[in-house]
Amino acid sequence: MTLKLTSDRAGIAWLGLLALSLVAFPWYKGAPIWQGPAASALSEGMSGHGWLWPLIAIVVALGAATFTRKWQQSNIALWLTLGAMFLYLWQGFAVGLRGPSQAWVGGVFEAAADGQTGLGWGGFLAGAALVGLLSDLIASRGFCRGERFASFCITAIVAALTAFVFFPILKLGLAAFVDTDGNLALGTFWARITAPDLWGLNCLVGGGRCGVVINTVILGVLSATLATLLGLALALLVNRTDFRMKRALRAISILPIITPPFVVGVAIILLFGRTGLVTSGVADLLDVRPGRWVYGLPGILIAQVLAFAPVTFLVLLSTLEAINPTLEEAARTLGAKSMKTFRSVTWPLLRPGLAAAFLLAFIESLADFGNPIVLGGGYEVLSIKIFFAVVGARYDLGNAATLAMILLALTLIAFWLQMRWMGNKSYVTVTGKSDAGLASPLPGVLKIGVFAVVLPWVIFTLAVYIIIVTGGFVTDVGRWDLTPTFQHIVTAFRFEFEDGLQLYGSAWDSMMTTLWVAALAAPLTTLIGILTAWLVARQDFAGRRAFEFGTMLSFAIPGTVVGVSYVAAFNVPPVDITGTAAILIICFVFRNMPVGMRAGLAALAQIDRSMEEASQTMGAGGLTTLRRVVLPLIKPAVFTALVYSFVTAMTAVSAVIFLVSARHNMATAYIMGRVEAGEYALAIAYSAVLMIVMIVCVVVIQGIVGTRKLGRRKELQGKGQVPEPAE
Amino acid sequence: MKTTNLTAILVASTSLYVAAPTAAQAEELVLYCSVQEEWCRAMSEAFERETGIEVLMTRRSSGETFAQLAAEAEQPRGDVWWGGTGDPHLQAAQEGLTEEYQSDELANLQDWAVRQAETANYRTVGIYAGGLGFGYNSDLVEENPPACWADLLDERFADDVQVANPNSSGTSYTMLATMVQLMGEEEAFEYLATLHNNISQYTQSGSAPIRAAATGETAIGIVFMHDAVAQTVQGAPIVAVAPCEGTGYEVGSMSIIAGGPNPDSARMFYDWALTPEAQEIGAANNSFQIPSNMNAATPEAAPRLEDITLIDYDFALYGSSEERTRLLERWDADIGSLSQ
């Protein structure tokens, strides 16, 4: 039984789904799905929710329109669908939880005074069906050259981005202009945004504290500068010297990516805190009183540089590798000393890489939440301030929204600078011409400098990770009571067998939720990311540039801002999903999707279109070509996207911290609570377990995805061996 | 072919309809807990074992939990708020965020616990009590240990005292209210402003300062005395001090959240948490408060209220919404904004 969704059948199917969603599924949340028609939009409409009638009426009209000839190309169908979409949105926003949002709605519909809850099964299904119907209609009118599958993907992704990226940000922007009672208050906004504790410059002119915005920028600039320098040193070491342990160095630099937040901060406290190993050692040596210097700017700086150096390292390494060695060789041949060559040839060519690395680290520093909250002391930054405005004792969403807008503006400025810097000048050195020259070795002075920077970093990183690995298995690492024990693991992960498996450990709930959320979010993220990449790279459609830019924008928004915006947008109907696992998954999918997309774009760029064209010539549709031809060829990108989204879902904290609830707690939020309460050992033990779980999962993902099999004959590749005669 | 498929779908969907309701009936309790995590965990586990009701527990400071209740007022997601200082519980009662309930155990409770319930029109109840004080690290403070509030202003403790932020922590708000009652408001804020010079950090959690003192990150932590004692019992070089001028105390409280998702489980927990057996769980988990049930054994190490010079703490006034908001706003303006 093959039922092909050809031309008009697809449209009818979407319309049928739409009708079904209105009559056969519960429209509102809370009603279980088996209540079916009894709680559907139709019966709700009959029992007083009159604002649902216009939507039902227009869907009936759409049904009537299908009897006309070529209804899919007709203007009537398109306008009716757009009208249905409008009415769908209107019914959601017209009536809030506690009553109508506009006075006239209350006047027309009496029941509006009782309010309505968020959308449920039927409501969401109707939204999906409307999107599908619209995609079908525009495809019939020639969008995407009539390719239904591509048209649906684009419409669905645009709808999802609008709902889960732009709508929350818009709602957050509005929240900034509203006072605690919900009235428009420009005065309050002005007072909030000009507050002296935001912009104060006291610390620069001597004495006093700076405003939180200034603090954030100072931290960002310092941390990005140091991280870029360290990254440059590492890149030079790997690319321009005969250093032997290059592989080990690369491995170490991957570690921060799978390290849960907070533990690095804790390890730094254990090393440099007042009773820390290093501080007390130095204090004993010099016979001074150990201080609390690490709390505040210095501590956050150390932690951030440690975390961001791998990113800058990778960026600068690729820049260094791309510099055409013939240029340096030419300089040497013309008689320049190695220092002169480095200064006048290598350095200028490195500049765009340096700028990119600096801005990346700057943006990461703005978004960082875990390190400042552990090591901040009295040093306040925006992400922390936003957090306490929402979660702290003074709940003030308006203030949080204002601060979030400032943070977003800073980030977007940095992104814009990066684009501008990279866009204008030409640094092309890789051309078609021969680049068989030899890169000039590093000047002696620089080499010593590089080692002087890298060596302490290696020792420090090792010290931090030794603490992370062992700290969870000793009695109290905070007081340096180093008796080995499994007590903390038992506290976290205890289980018993009495009528089946009973999980009593305190960490089980968060661990299970985290694994579930990560396991569900990773494939979804990958799917949407790769699909987006395929659409951008392989489909021609109006608004492709804007589409690409829109998807990247969701990546630029700092996690804290995303978290607050979700609280602002999804705490009330129509989409009332705070406190569910769905909001966590959605948050991860749309935050990490651009990474999958980038990976997909890079992979697709290497693959010639002719294979897909061949597939299509032979009669395969868009979906079949994607599944049978494209996907097997871009397996490495799929792997990257899966691993990245999985690992991020397990270690991300800045957005999640706003979205967790008693029912759905995440590992990182749990660890944060333990760190705050001073239970360092438990936090470290849990983190160690998380890291092991992540490594195991990455291996499993590798096994599932498998490797790309290109039909090349191995013997002919590489090392110039003589091909053996076939048997 | 077509019919078989249809039948399969039909069977699958009916089984979904039948199976789903049973799955949704699992009993639960969403517990907002504001004492030490260790104690929260033990309580949740004990209640789970006792009743089979699954407990979903979050630990947050009492000020933060209060803010959460206010933020969730439209759609409450928690059932019981257990533990934490009494003032935010009273404020929640006053603002109608919590529900009136009188347990049968009320007759067996200490006076102060019943008084707490009466103040709130039975929207909350006392579950434990403990005096405010401070603890110092005896490795760091060897001579001339501090014995009074006034001693904390000493210059030798510069950058060496920690206390929580009264906005987030009930402990710290109790200190603020105690100072105002002990000295008068103007003098109290003067004292806090001077003390500010010695404060290294205002933490979020009320008991974090004593943990920092235990590891030597700070010399003195201003906390409830039972939190200091808990560190001593665990082997940290901490000495708990009852300040000589007199001090305030807390009546740790419990409230049922109005409109919570599982009201039956909430009442069951409420009744259970007031029994002597449930109240004795604290002592086994390094929490040395004085239990409110007269039949529950007071832990050996607990600082007795009789041994402390207690002020006559006005819970009704300082737990009221207006006074609490006013004092916290003044603290933000006068103390929170000072440079560090």
**Range scoring the smallest mean pLDDT among A136-145, A587-596, B86-95:** A136-145
Q: Please tell me chain A's helix, strand, coil percentages from 3-state DSSP, rounded to the nearest 5.
A: 70, 5, 25
Q: How far apart are CA A648 and CA A518, in angstroms?
A: 8
Asked if B310 and B249 touch (Cβ cutoff 8 Å), the reply is yes
Residues A682-703: tens digit of each pLDDT: 899 999 999 999 999 989 998 8
The helix/strand count (H/E) of chain A reads as 33, 4
Is A342 in a helix, a strand, or coil?
helix
Whole-number pLDDT of residue A391: 76
Residue A483 falls in which region: left (phi positive, over 0), alpha (psi -120 to 50) or beta: beta
Residues A12-57: tens digit of each pLDDT: 999 999 999 999 999 998 778 888 788 889 988 888 888 999 999 9
- Under an 8 A CB cutoff, do A273 and B217 touch? yes
Asked if A493 and A505 touch (Cβ cutoff 8 Å), the reply is yes
Q: What percent of chain A has pLDDT over 90?
A: 27
Which residues, in sequence order, are CB contacts of B295 under 8 Å at separation 6+?
Answer: B108, B276
Give Cα B27 to chain centroid, integer Å: 26
Q: How far apart are CA A513 and CA A519, in angstroms?
A: 10
Which residues, in sequence order, are CB contacts of A610 under 8 Å at separation 6+?
Answer: none
Whole-number pLDDT of residue A723: 42
Average pLDDT of chain B is 87
The reply to whether A458 and A507 lie within a common domain is no
- Domain boundary, last residue among A141, A169, A185: A141
Residue A201 inside a domain? The answer is no
Residue of A nearest to B13 (CA): A34
- Under an 8 A CB cutoff, do B168 and A197 touch? no
The number of folded domains in chain A is: 3
Residue A48 inside a domain? The answer is yes
Helix (H) or strand (E) holding A520: helix A508-538
Residue A553 inside a domain? The answer is yes
Closest CA to A151 of A233, A70, A72, A268: A72
- Under an 8 A CB cutoff, do B167 and A32 touch? no
Whole-number pLDDT of residue A437: 66
Give the one of A378, A481, A673 whose C-beta lies nearest to B340's C-beta.
A378
Where b means 16+ CB within 10 Å and e means fewer, A559-572 reads bbbbbbbbbbbbbb
Question: Which phi and psi angles does A229 have, rounded to 5°?
Answer: -60, -45
The reply to whether A446 and A528 lie within a common domain is no
- Under an 8 A CB cutoff, do B217 and A506 touch? no
Q: Averaged over B65-85, what is the pLDDT?
A: 88
Model confidence band, residue B294 (pLDDT cutoffs 50, 70, 90): very high
Q: Is A700 on the interface with B (CB under 8 A)?
A: no
Residue A514 inside a domain? The answer is yes
Which amino acid, one-letter code, is at A370? G
Q: How far apart are CA A160 and CA A165, in angstroms?
A: 8
Closest CA to A200 of A189, A192, A191, A208: A208
The reply to whether A603 and A464 lie within a common domain is no
The reply to whether A12 and A110 lie within a common domain is yes
Q: How far is B88 from chain A (nearest CA, A)?
A: 10
Give strand pairing partners of B33: B59, B82
Does residue A718 surpass a pLDDT of 50?
no
Q: Helices A508-538 and A581-605, interaxial angle, to 10°?
A: 40
Whole-number pLDDT of residue B26: 62
Q: Averaged over B21-38, what is the pLDDT?
A: 74
Does residue B339 surpass a pLDDT of 80?
no
Give the one of A32, A98, A677 whose C-beta lies nearest to B208's C-beta.
A677
Please report the number of interchain residue pairs, chain A to chain B, with beta-carbon separation below 8 angstroms.
120
Give strand pairing partners of B250: B130
Q: Which domain holds residue A646?
A: 502-709
Residue A371 inside a domain? The answer is yes
Residue of A nearest to B47 (CA): A504
Homologous superfamily of the B131-248+324-336 domain (CATH): Periplasmic binding protein-like II (3.40.190.10)
Which ranges constitute the DSSP H helices of A176-261?
186-193, 196-199, 212-240, 246-254
Residue A725 inside a domain? The answer is no
Is A719 in a helix, a strand, or coil?
coil
- Under an 8 A CB cutoff, do A32 and B24 touch? yes
- Under an 8 A CB cutoff, do B70 and A395 touch? yes
Q: How far apart are CA B140 and CA A283, in angstroms?
A: 14
Give the one of B24, B31, B208 whose C-beta lies nearest to A676's C-beta.
B208
The reply to whether A345 and A243 lie within a common domain is yes
Whole-number pLDDT of residue B14: 39
Is B127 in a helix, a strand, or coil?
strand
Give the one of B167, B201, B215 whose C-beta lies nearest to A394's C-beta.
B167
Is A580 in a helix, a strand, or coil?
coil
Residue A132 inside a domain? The answer is yes
Q: Give B-chain residues touching A481 at CB under 8 angstroms.
A: 235
Q: Give B-chain residues touching A388 at CB under 8 angstroms.
A: 168, 204
Residues A91-108: tens digit of each pLDDT: 988 888 777 888 888 888
Q: How far apart are CA B296 and CA B283, in angstroms?
A: 11
The reply to whether A368 and A458 lie within a common domain is yes
Average pLDDT of chain A is 85
Does residue B8 surpass a pLDDT of 70?
no
Q: Is A725 on the interface with B (CB under 8 A)?
A: no
Q: Averaged over A549-566, what is the pLDDT?
A: 85
Q: How far apart are CA A330 and CA A191, in angstroms?
A: 61
pTM equals: 0.86
Q: What angle do CA B293, B296, B300 make, to 5 degrees?
A: 125
> How high is the ipTM of this complex?
0.79
Whole-number pLDDT of residue A657: 87
- Domain boundary, last residue among A90, A106, A141: A141
The reply to whether A451 and A531 lie within a common domain is no
Residues A398-456: tens digit of each pLDDT: 888 899 999 999 998 988 887 777 655 555 555 555 556 667 777 888 888 888 888 88
Residue bearing tokens 């969603």:
A21
Q: How far apart are CA B323 and CA B326, in angstroms?
A: 5
Give the one of B5, B24, B64 whose C-beta lies nearest to A1's C-beta.
B5
- Domain boundary, last residue among A91, A125, A141: A141
Q: How far apart are CA B224 and CA B229, in angstroms?
A: 9
Q: How far is A291 from chain B (nearest CA, A)?
A: 9
Tokens standing for A35?
């209540």
Give Cα A368 to chain centroid, integer Å: 13
Count of beta carbons in the 10 Å neighbourhood of residue A214 = 17
Does residue B147 surpass a pLDDT of 50?
yes
Asked if A527 and A160 touch (Cβ cutoff 8 Å), the reply is no
Q: Which of A96-100, A129-133, A203-207 has the highest mean pLDDT?
A: A129-133
The residue ranges of every structural domain in chain B are 28-129+250-303, 131-248+324-336
Residue A39 inside a domain? The answer is yes
- First-last CA distance in chain B: 78
Does residue B7 surpass a pLDDT of 90?
no
Whole-number pLDDT of residue A425: 53
Helix (H) or strand (E) holding A53: helix A53-65
Residue of B nearest to A478 (CA): B215
- Under an 8 A CB cutoff, do B211 and A378 touch? no
The reply to whether A416 and A515 lie within a common domain is no
Q: How far apart are CA B221 and CA A186, in angstroms?
A: 42
Tokens standing for A213?
């915005």
Q: How far apart are CA B146 and CA B130, in angstroms?
A: 20
Residue A619 falls in which region: left (phi positive, over 0), alpha (psi -120 to 50) or beta: left
- Under an 8 A CB cutoff, do A393 and B168 touch? yes
Give the one of A208, A273, A395 whose C-beta lies nearest to B339's C-beta.
A208
Homologous superfamily of the B28-129+250-303 domain (CATH): Periplasmic binding protein-like II (3.40.190.10)
Where b means 16+ CB within 10 Å and e means fewer, A143-155 reads bbeebbbbbbbbb
